[in-house]
Amino acid sequence: DAGITQSPRHKVTETGTPVTLRCHQTENHRYMYWYRQDPGHGLRLIHYSYGVKDTDKGEVSDGYSVSRSKTEDFLLTLESATSSQTSVYFCATSSGGQETQYFGPGTRLLVL
Amino acid sequence: KQEVTQIPAALSVPEGENLVLNCSFTDSAIYNLQWFRQDPGKGLTSLLLIQSSQREQTSGRLNASLDKSSGRSTLYIAASQPGDSATYLCAVTNNAGNMLTFGGGTRLMVKP
């Protein structure tokens, strides 16, 4: 494992509230990613980061923002949660953009 | 847009059988292809990574092949064991190295 932790591991929230998920890594990997996993859609990339303060959008970025102020932390924020954002969120890291990605344990988010 | 398809979606085999999981992708302009394993309620674990210039990779009882021109990869599992039961996912990295596209996975059950 690449020493990736995610917090919280489970969260229940209400529609319209802001939610921040945290990913922390101890491997000094340059790249970090946020995915969501949904039945019927598989894993889809939300946002990724290729360095401190350097981020870009993925396939399903609408409604999400990210920040990376330190190498080890990558935050995913849902500014105003909606029921369609109920999902399992995974963080991943890699040493390079084309290298093996290592995944965290996931965060289960339920938006009521 | 890259699309990755895995067939079959589910597979049940008796212990000891050799088996093949299939992955196909629509855009052959890939940098590499990865196979992952996911246990229920857990994150993904990388099994094998094949660069676009390679034809196959082996790790223990696992062998993955890649035919980039036809857009296909196979994961061969020899002498399957109950501990191999999991969902297996393939994913392709685009040439820019900033996007990993996943297939829907094959859910494997190996019965004792």
pLDDT digits (tens, 9 = 90+) for A5-29: 999 999 999 999 999 999 999 999 9
Cα separation, A83 vs A41, in Å, equals 16
Beta bridge partners of B76: B20, B63
Q: What is the pLDDT of residue A40?
A: 81
User: Which of B5, B23, B46 is best to mutate for the A interface (most A CBs within 10 A)?
Assistant: B46
Q: Across the interface, do A101 and B45 touch by the CB < 8 Å criterion?
A: no
Smallest Cβ–Cβ distance between B46 and the set A97, A98, A102 belongs to A102
What residues in chain A have per-residue pLDDT under 50?
Answer: none
Structure confidence by residue, pLDDT tens digits, B64-89: 999 999 999 999 999 999 999 999 99
What span, in angstroms and rounded, lies between the C-alpha atoms of B4 and B89?
10
Please state, in angstroms and rounded to a whole number, the distance separating the CA atoms of residues A105 and B17: 30
pLDDT in tens, B14-27: 999 999 999 999 99
B43 in contact with A at a CB cutoff of 8 Å? Answer: yes
Residue B45 has pLDDT above 70, yes or no: yes
Q: Please report residues of B whose CB lies closer than 8 A to that of A105.
A: 42-43
pLDDT computed for residue A2 by the predictor: 57
Quick one: which of B62, B4, B7 has its CA closest to B37? Answer: B62
Is there a cis peptide before residue A8, judged by omega within 30 degrees of 0?
A: yes
- For B97: left if phi > 0, alpha if psi spans -120 to 50, otherwise beta; the answer is left
Q: What percentage of chain B reaches a pLDDT higher than 70?
A: 100
Q: How confident is the model at residue B4 (pLDDT cuts 50, 70, 90)?
A: very high
pLDDT of residue B1: 86
User: How big is the CA angle at B11 (ends B109 and B38), to the nearest 5 degrees?
Assistant: 55
Predicted local confidence at residue B99, as pLDDT: 81
